[in-house]
């Protein structure tokens, strides 16, 4: 059974938490004790209806304010698939949380309030979906019950969304009218919208094809740990443990160790303590090489016929996540999968205008939640792919050396 990772995002009070709560509730993924606790909490509300948003709003402060502050992860399973949900907050100052939640997502659900239509946060979250290369997008037009289940209103929002998103690299977009509060088109098709002929949300999530989302064309493996037992039983054992980021590796493959550029051959592959002839993306393995080479954590093993870029001079788009503005010349740590190197931001050249979705010149700084183009110089060369070509090997984070806080998430361009 495969796993679909998806994120929900939208403006404040678009009903993200209620939608997730509805999915959990209707798919019977809520234990009785939690359900009883929520029923007690909402017993005295005006309409007496269960507040399904409480299934994801885990902090008391969130509930008191009526907003979702952090990224809340929830899990549920149907007969067809397992799901991991990230519920991102809607406030503009928490845009960074969406970047965090979306980094490994197969699909994004961007909610639009049927009463308000496309707003700035819709554009912002859709742009981040495009920037992070999330393969599938669902635009859930929520609270359709508050506009009398209007087909005209739905069509108007669809048209407006398509107009602003034409310049974005969105590969697969689906529009679904829903009412999270009443369950219309969430886990079953609504009789109140006979004009809508598409799938309900859960049906779409169950049936969407995600096997093709994994890059199997460009083999990339980054060493997380060098295994050298150094005892009599395993005197000559030398293995390189890690997760295959993309592609397929086979015993006998001609490979190159980067950044050193040394060529060798795969002499063996271990998967779950068993020797296998090949392994593929997302599997954690131990790779053995024909030659004894000085390899450290963070070094990459790649197919010699499909080499990545190896450089210290990097161009990227980043989302700045720190309350202190980014300045040119700032020294940080760049973490690329398991490889961490010292880096300096040499230039902040452009920022994205979320109204026009175009880059414009900037003063060489970046404020909280701004998306900017930067040039970064690293202390040692790293091997990477442009994010648009290989998502698993094209993303990174920037870390403040003094606080150890993650201050930016970025993609190589």
Which of 187, 213, 239 is the C-terminal boundary of a domain?
Answer: 213
Q: Which domain holds residue 361?
A: 309-412
Residue 344 CB burial class (10 angstroms; 0-12, 13-18, ≥19): middle
Instruction: Dump strand ranges (E) for 99-198.
Output: 107-113, 136-142, 173-177
- At 204 the pLDDT is 96
Which among 139, 193, 195, 197 has a CA at the least distance from the CA of 163? Answer: 139
Give the chain's residues under pLDDT 50: 58-70, 90-91, 93-94
Centroid of chain to Cα 266: 31
- Torsion sign (Cα): 227, 249, 297, 267: positive
Give the per-residue pLDDT at 46.
54
So what's the pLDDT on residue 303?
A: 97
**Domain harbouring 283, CATH code:** 2.40.30.10
The answer to whether residues 201 and 185 touch, using CB atoms and an 8 Å cutoff, is yes
Structurally, the chain folds into a number of domains equal to: 3
Q: Are residues 56 and 188 in the same domain?
A: yes
Considering only CA atoms, which of 21, 359, 356 is closest in space to residue 164? 356
Whether 201 and 349 share a structural domain: no
How would DSSP label each residue in 59-77? SHHHHHHTS--SPEEEEEE
Cβ(344)–Cβ(332) under 8 Å?
A: yes
Clarify whether residues 319 and 404 are in a common domain: yes
Residues 36 and 104 in one domain: yes
Alpha-carbon dihedral angle through residues 191, 195, 198, 203, given to the nearest 10 degrees: -10
Read off the pTM: 0.79
> Domain end: 271, 303, 335, which one?
303
Same domain? 375 vs 313: yes
Q: Please tell me the predicted confidence (pLDDT) of residue 60.
A: 40
Residues 159-203: tens digit of each pLDDT: 999 998 888 878 899 999 999 989 999 999 999 999 999 999 999
pLDDT at 384: 96
Is the domain of 227 the same as that of 290?
yes
Residues 156 and 291 occupy one common structural domain: no
Residues 154 and 255 in one domain: no
Q: Indicate whether 276 and 141 sit together in one domain.
A: no
Domain co-membership, 231 together with 361: no
Residues 242 and 325 in one domain: no
What is the helix, strand, coil percentage profile of the chain, to 5? 20, 40, 40
The answer on 98 and 24 residing in a single domain is: yes
Instruction: Give me the CATH number covering residue 53.
Output: 3.40.50.300
Of 282, 303, 324, which one is at a domain's C-terminal end? 303
């Amino acid at each position: 059974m495969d796993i679909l990772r998806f994120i929900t995002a939208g403006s404040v009070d678009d009903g993200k938490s209620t939608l997730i709560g509805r999915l959990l509730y209707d798919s019977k993924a809520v234990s009785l004790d939690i359900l009883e606790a929520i029923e007690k909490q909402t017993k005295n509300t005006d309409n007496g209806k269960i507040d399904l948003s409480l299934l994801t709003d885990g902090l008391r402060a969130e509930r008191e304010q009526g907003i979702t502050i952090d990224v809340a992860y929830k899990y549920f399973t149907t007969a067809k698939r397992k799901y991991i949900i990230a519920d991102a907050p809607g406030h503009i100052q928490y845009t960074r949380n969406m970047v965090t939640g979306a980094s490994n997502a197969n699909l994004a659900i961007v909610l639009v309030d049927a009463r308000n239509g496309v707003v700035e946060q819709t554009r912002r979250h859709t742009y981040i979906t495009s920037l992070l290369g999330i393969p599938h997008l669902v635009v859930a037009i929520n609270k359709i019950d508050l506009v009398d289940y209007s087909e005209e209103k739905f069509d108007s929002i669809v048209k407006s969304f398509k107009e602003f998103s034409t310049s974005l690299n969105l590969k697969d977009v689906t529009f679904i009218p829903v009412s999270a509060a009443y369950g219309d088109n969430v886990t079953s098709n609504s009789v109140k919208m006979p004009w809508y002929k598409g799938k309900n949300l859960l049906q779409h999530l169950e049936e969407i094809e995600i096997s093709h989302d994994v890059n199997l064309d460009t083999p990339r493996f980054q060493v997380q740990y060098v295994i050298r037992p150094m005892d009599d039983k395993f005197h000559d054992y030398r293995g390189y443990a890690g997760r295959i980021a993309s592609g397929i590796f086979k015993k006998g493959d001609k490979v190159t160790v980067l950044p050193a550029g040394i060529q060798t051959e795969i002499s063996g592959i271990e998967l779950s303590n068993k020797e296998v002839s090949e392994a593929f993306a997302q599997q954690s393995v131990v790779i053995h090489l024909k030659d004894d080479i000085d390899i450290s954590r963070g070094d990459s093993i790649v197919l010699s016929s499909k080499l990545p870029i190896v450089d210290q001079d990097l161009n990227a788009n980043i989302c700045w996540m720190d309350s202190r503005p980014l300045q040119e010349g700032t020294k940080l740590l760049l973490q690329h999968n398991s490889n961490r190197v010292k880096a300096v931001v040499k230039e902040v050249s452009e920022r994205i205008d979320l109204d026009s979705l175009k880059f414009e010149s900037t003063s060489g700084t970046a404020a909280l939640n701004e998306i900017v183009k930067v040039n970064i110089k690293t202390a040692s060369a790293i091997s990477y792919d442009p994010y648009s070509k290989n998502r698993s090997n094209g993303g990174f984070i920037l870390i403040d050396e003094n606080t150890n806080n993650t201050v930016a998430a970025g993609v190589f361009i």
